[in-house]
Every structure is written in structure tokens, then in C-alpha cells.
Amino acid sequence: MTTIAFLGAGSVVFTRELLADILTFDELRGVTLALHDIDPERLETAEAIARRTAEQLGAKPTITTSLDRRTVLDGADFVINAIQVGMHAATVRDFEIPAKYGLRQTIGDTLGVGGIFRALRTFPVLAGIAADMRELCPDAWFLNYTNPMAMNIGYLAAIAPDLKAVGLCHSVYWTVRDLSDLLGVPYDEVDYTGAGVNHQAWLLRFEHRGENLYPRLDALLERDPELRRRVRMDMYKRLGWFPTETSEHSSEYLPWYLHDDAEIERLRIPVGDYLRISADNVTEYHETRRAVLAGEPLDVSRDATEYAPQVIHSITTGTLRRIHGNVANRGLISNLPEDYAVEVPCVVDALGVRPERVGALPAQCAALNRSFVNVGQLTVQAALTGDKRMVRQAAMVDPNTAATLSVDRIWELCDELTAAHGDLIPEALR
């Protein structure tokens, strides 16, 4: 029987949604769910959610838990990774310390100093997971949800190129869903292709029954001035291709917006928004724990299925699907660096996840992606070499950071963040 290991199962809301999706498939209703978290209370909560979800859906999975990662990895067929090293406290540091220097962030989990330091906290754990999987489940698929997605997949490609790893993110899917709703077109009738890097990919094809939908979007933007007051609508207007991540995310990957008060007002950019989201996640965890321990029913209704359950179902049953995944660039996008992570269409069936070659991106899209990739590559190299300067160099070439701070202030900021995160940062980089 198929065994699915959950790492970071204490991310209970996300775990609940994944479990509901998995157990909705008839062929997966009897799987083994092996849950792991380093926090005993969160692991207890995750187990209670798993059992309640199975009961409500009438499924009969085998559910096991362990505080020991190796126990749940032993013999796993799929490993879902949703860890957050340092949790909410580390997120607060990633926002509050840069804010003292005048550096604005919105989400801080992908690029910029927030993304760099989140990556440096995560890499050592990823290295341990990869080593354990090589020993205990070498044929398993590693399905990563942890951000910074591109940096994490790029790091794994460098240290464990044999690991069957794919990064899963809903940004392309939800972008097309939202645009379809905006244009009044049924999503199920839309054909699309996205490619680039995670959180900065581009809709290269966006069609309804053979009709290019971009002219419809152009017309809508022309007559709706409020719609134009969004970062990615502004990006689309200037670049000609629609980016596949929210305006909140996109604003901090570029040098154009966050340093300018007028642009923040014009485009309604919610500076520091992830602090609120992270705090809300903590509150939702406590409410979910209270509800499940009180015996209250869980909301297991879903209007969309996450990628990981689809991947597991396709590989297990041979059902053919096409998703967008994050994988090492091995000839997939010709004008982006090799081996670093790219986001491309992937075919999934009994043979696994097979990325499709895209070729060259539009020149302006590739140019922005390369500035995005530069930060990640230097961060990965910093971890691989133990060179502290590369951490600072990654921050120096980050578009938003470089547009806001002098190089001396960037180095001072990196020094302070390194000290604040303490043992969570690899010893060689402290």
C-alpha cells in the first residue's frame, strides 16, 4: 500500500486540505499517512485532524506519527515537505530588522533578505532530509511546498541531483483561475502554459477555444482604472506577458515599486503583509486545535485539488495529468541558467513527473528572471561554500534591496539578521 510521509505536518490547516484532497480519491482512501513534526503538540493536533478527516470522508487510511523524521521516511513512496524552520518568530525577525533599515517587504519568503535568510535556515534541514531519503526511501518522490521554492529546489539539485524532487506551487493555477473569472470565461475551457521561475513565471499561452485572451484583458484594463492599480497589471502593461504570482509577492522582486511612497499608494501595495498572514496562521492553528479536540466537525469541502494529491494519484494509478512544477533547469528554458530551478509544465503519469522543454522565454521576461535567479544562485553557493560574503552579495544583487539601501547598510543588515537568527543559520555562515 502507498505510504505518504508528511514533514511539517503541524502546518495543520495545509495538512487538513492536503488530507482531504488525498482521501477524496477512491484509490487513495486506504493509504498509509506517516506524519512528522518536531513539535509534539502540533503533531498531536495533526494526528487528530487526520483521523477526523478520514472519519468524515468515510476513508480508512493507516495513520502513524513520529517526532523522529527517519521513522516516517522509512519505506515512504512520497514525501510531502511543508516545514517552516524557525516558525513565526523567525518571520517576525525577517521583517522587523530590515524595517529598521528602511527596507520594505511584503511577503519575504521568496527573494530579498527575507527569502535569503529563510533559505539559509532551511538548507541544513533539506540536506538532512535528502540524506535520510537516499538511505530509507531512495525511490520516493519528494514533493516540496516549502519556500523559498526556487532556492530550495536549486539547492537540492546541487547536493542531491539523484533525488526525485519537484516543487509544487499553486500560483500558475490560481492566476489562470482568477483571470478566467475576471474575463467571464470558464476555467475548464482555457488552455494555458506558464514558464519562468517560481513566483515569477509568465503566461506564455492563454487561450479560450483557440482565441488569445490577452486582447480581452487589454480591453478590460483600458476601461477599468482601478484594475490598473495592481502591481502585476502594471507589470503586464509594461512587459506584455502576465506574471503568475500575486501583486503582493511580485512587488518585492523588482526594483521599481517598494522604495517609492507614491508607487506604494498608486498600486495599493500592502507593506509587511506577511506579518499579518503569519500571525493569522498561528491564530488559525489554535482555533483548529480547539475545534478538533472539542469534537467539532472539520470543513473538508474543497473547490480545487492541490498538486501533491494529483501527483500521487497520477503516479499511483497512471492517470495522465499536466501540472506546472519546479524542477532543475536541464535544458528546459534555454535563456535561464542551467541546474537552477525553473517552473515549467510537467506531464505526470505512472512514469513520474516529466517536465516539458519550453525553449527561450521572451527576452524581457528572461531578463527579469535572471535578476531573480542571481539572488538564489548566490544564496545556494553561500551555503555550499560557507562563504559569508556570498550571503551579502546575494542581498546586494537583490533588486528591491539594491534599490533601497547602500552597500554598507546591506552588509550591516545581513550581519544583524545573522546574529538574530543564531543557531538556525549554518555555523560556517555565522
Residue ranges of the binding site for Mn(2+):
169, 199
Report whether 25 contacts 309 (CB < 8 A). yes
Q: How far apart are CA 141 and CA 80, in angstroms?
A: 8
Supply 141's cell numbers: 518522490
Question: What residues form the annotated binding site for substrate?
Answer: 147
| Dihedral over Cα of 366, 370, 371, 372: its sign | positive
Q: Which of 170, 208, 286, 324 is catalytic?
A: 170
87-100 and 273-293 helices cross at what angle (nearest 10)?
A: 160
Residue type present at position 197: V
Report whether 151 contacts 328 (CB < 8 A). no
Q: How far apart are CA 236 and CA 85, in angstroms?
A: 34
Q: How far apart are CA 93 and CA 107, in angstroms?
A: 13
Report whether 46 contacts 37 (CB < 8 A). yes
Any idea how long the chain is? 430
Half-sphere exposure of 425 (CA within 13 A, CB side): 22
Q: What are phi and psi of 104, to 5 degrees?
A: -95, 140
Which H or E element spans position 203?
A: strand 200-208
Q: How far apart are CA 47 and CA 81, in angstroms?
A: 16
Roughly how many angstroms between the first and final C-alpha of the chain, as a whole number? 44
Question: What residues form the annotated binding site?
Answer: 147, 169, 199
Report whether 308 contacts 168 (CB < 8 A). yes
Q: Helix, strand, coil shares of the chain as percentages rounded to 5?
A: 55, 15, 30
Of the candidates 177, 175, 194, 129, the one whose C-alpha atom is nearest the C-alpha of residue 325 is 194
Supply 60's cell numbers: 480508512
Which H or E element spans position 259?
A: none
Q: How far apart are CA 258 and CA 273, in angstroms?
A: 13
286 catalytic, yes or no?
Answer: no
Report whether 106 contacts 249 (CB < 8 A). yes
Residues identified as active-site = 170
